[in-house]
Each structure stands twice: as structure tokens, then as C-alpha cells.
Amino acid sequence: MATSLQSRVEAAAAQLIFGLPAPVRRLIAGRAIRLDGQELALDAQLLLRLQQISRVSMAAGTPEIARQRILDSGHLVSGTPIEPVHTREVVIPAEHGPLPATLYVPEGIPSPSPLLVFFHGGGWVVGSRASHDNAARYFAKQAGVRVLSVEYRLAPENPFPAAPEDAVTAFDYAHAKATDLDVDPDRIAVGGDSAGGNLAAVTAQVTTARGGAAPVFQLLLYPSVDASRRRRSREVFGRGFFLTDADMTWFADHYAPAGVDRTDPRLSPLLTEDFTGLPPAYVATAGFDPLRDEGEEYAAKLRAANVPVTLSRQRDLIHGYMNFLGVGKRFREAASEAAGALRLGLRA
């Protein structure tokens, strides 16, 4: 995707700032933030400071404006495209019409390979394959897997349950067309960040409950798993840490407007009655994230059902860290752990 001269200049400026000596970065970021027994990473605090200066918000105005804002600001933090990773466009047949997707293939990968069916974050309203391009590239290269990144339908044009329907359709397509995708059908995972983590969890539940083909691993990064009630982490971290309480309300109201039952497990997978038999999972949360507590409750319910699960709280990070690969090594450290978990979860 081509970027303007202004975008390239802004990205270079961000790189310059994050490359400054730690004392200078601390001066720009301000005094260390300590909250709830945790200290925010300098990289995360500096990013928040730059966000305040640029006045970039996750959700503001109309969905169209918010989508463009997220896409425009992504170049500042996502980094240059990770190579060598080859891509090709894929069209997934669906009842409502073709569902676009991109297949990422790291150079030198054996055939057939494991596959991650990846769902981007963005509150089911914003975000796209383009906004999460480098995240998909990162998992492809670092985990040594093919990645199928899915352009599921967004709200409010297509409210709940359009997104989970698309997610299940995408998994079923990947399994049915494994030979065409050069994929091992017995080593397909689902994963995503935030709203994408929600869709991955729902896909694992729906496919497991019906019997037959189901994912063998779940990669759930700071997932949203319960839209029915508020938790302490939302009260503590709901302002000033990238994803805000106002953002969450804005997203939920567009995705699940009045009349939608927010206890429906396809919207709130934490509330499903039976976790038995779900695939092993890596659940990552961020310490300074309003979604932290519900993600950790989800891991606890998996564990109570004897599902193998690794819960990893990135205590010093904020929501969205998988998209900040271009700035600050702390974000890449957390991403590296997730990639390692995916590689381990899909090993033969």
C-alpha cells in the first residue's frame, strides 16, 4: 500500500523519537506511570504521549471517519512491511457474497504447512486486512506458518451476528480447501486481536460444539469476550491508555445495537455454558487494558474445563500492542512470545 510523503516523514519522525536515549524518551513521555501494582513500559508511555499530541482516537465521529483515521495513523507504528513474505488474494464464497482474504506465505516454508486463520481487531467496526498487514506478516514469518487474514463484514452496515458468521465460514473454507492453500488440514489455528480474538474464540466454540472440523489451537490476544457487563479493569484503565471506556461503548453500540442480546455466546463467548473439548489456547492480556480482566476470566474458564491454556499478562503494556511493531522493542518482545506460542501450538 502506497504512502504519502507526509506519512513517510511522520513515520521517520516516530522512529527517530523511539531511537533516542532512554533518558530523553523518559523526558518526553513524562514521569513513570504506576497503577494497580504495575508500571507502564516506557515504550507504551511514549506512544501514548505521541497519541495525545496527534489527537488520534480509536473511535470518533462516524465509522467511515474512524476507519480512515485508523488506517492513516497505522503507518506511524506498524513499521515497514516484514519480508520476505509472499501474498496472494483469496475469495471465500459466502451466502451474502464473496468474502475477501489474503494468504501470507513466508519464504522457504515447507508444503503443506500449518495455517493461522486470522481475524483483525477494531471493535467489529474499524480495522481491516490493511491495518493488520504487518501483524499477519509477523506471524507468518516468526511462527513459520501460512496466515489467512479475513476481511469479515463490519458494523454498523453489518451488525452482529455477521462477523462471527463470516469467521466460521472462513475457517470452514480453509479446512475444506486445505489442499488448494497448501495447508495441513490437521494443523489449522484461529487467532486474532481484540475483536478478532473474540471472533477466534467464537469460531472455536461453534465448530467444537457442532462436531467435525475444528481448530487445533486458539491465539487470543487481549480478546473482548463479554459484552454484557463491566469489570474492574475497565474502571481502572478506561481513560488514557489507548482503548478507552468511551471507545468500547461506541464499538458495542454499533456492533450490537438495541435489541441484541449481549449475553449471546456468539457475542460474549465467556458466557457459553460448556468449555469442554475446546482447543488449546494462548491468551494474552495487557496490564493497562480495560479488557484485561475478562480475558483472564476466559483463560480461567478454559483451565477449569481442563483445556490446556497459557495465560500471559503483559503487565507493562497497553491494548493493541500487536500493531505497534514498528516502534519500541517492548512491543516486539510481546509479539515474539505470541508467535512462539503459535509455532508451538501448531507443531506436528
Same domain, 307 and 338: yes
Same domain, 202 and 126: yes
Annotate 140-180 with DSSP letters as a single string: HHHHT-EEEEE----TTTS-TTHHHHHHHHHHHHHHHTHHH
Same domain, 41 and 173: no
Between strands 281-288 and 113-119, the pairing is unpaired
What's the predicted TM-score (pTM) here?
A: 0.96
What is the DSSP secondary structure assignment for residue 122, as one 8-state letter? S
Same domain, 273 and 342: yes
Instruction: Give residue 92's pLDDT.
Output: 98
Amino acid residing at 272: T
Same domain, 181 and 214: yes
Same domain, 113 and 53: no
Query: Active-site positions?
Result: 194, 289, 319
* Number of domains within the chain: 2
Residue 68 within any structural domain of the chain: no
Kind and range of the H or E element at 18? helix 5-18
Same domain, 89 and 219: yes
pLDDT in tens, the chain (348 residues): 445 556 666 777 888 899 999 999 999 999 999 999 999 999 999 999 988 865 556 666 899 999 988 887 777 789 999 999 999 999 999 999 999 999 999 999 999 999 999 999 999 999 999 999 999 999 999 999 999 999 999 999 999 999 999 999 999 999 999 999 999 999 999 999 999 999 999 999 999 999 999 999 999 999 999 999 999 999 999 999 999 999 999 999 999 999 999 999 999 999 999 999 999 999 999 999 999 999 999 999 999 999 999 999 999 999 999 999 999 899 999 999 999 999 999 996
> By residue range, what is the domain housing residue 90?
81-346
How many whole angstroms separate alpha carbon 186 and alpha carbon 202?
19
Instruction: Give residue 12's pLDDT.
Output: 77
Residue 32 within any structural domain of the chain: yes
Residue 70 within any structural domain of the chain: no
Same domain, 245 and 162: yes
Same domain, 107 and 197: yes
Same domain, 176 and 225: yes
Same domain, 109 and 47: no
Residue 121 has phi, psi (to 5 degrees) of -85, 180
Residue 280 within any structural domain of the chain: yes
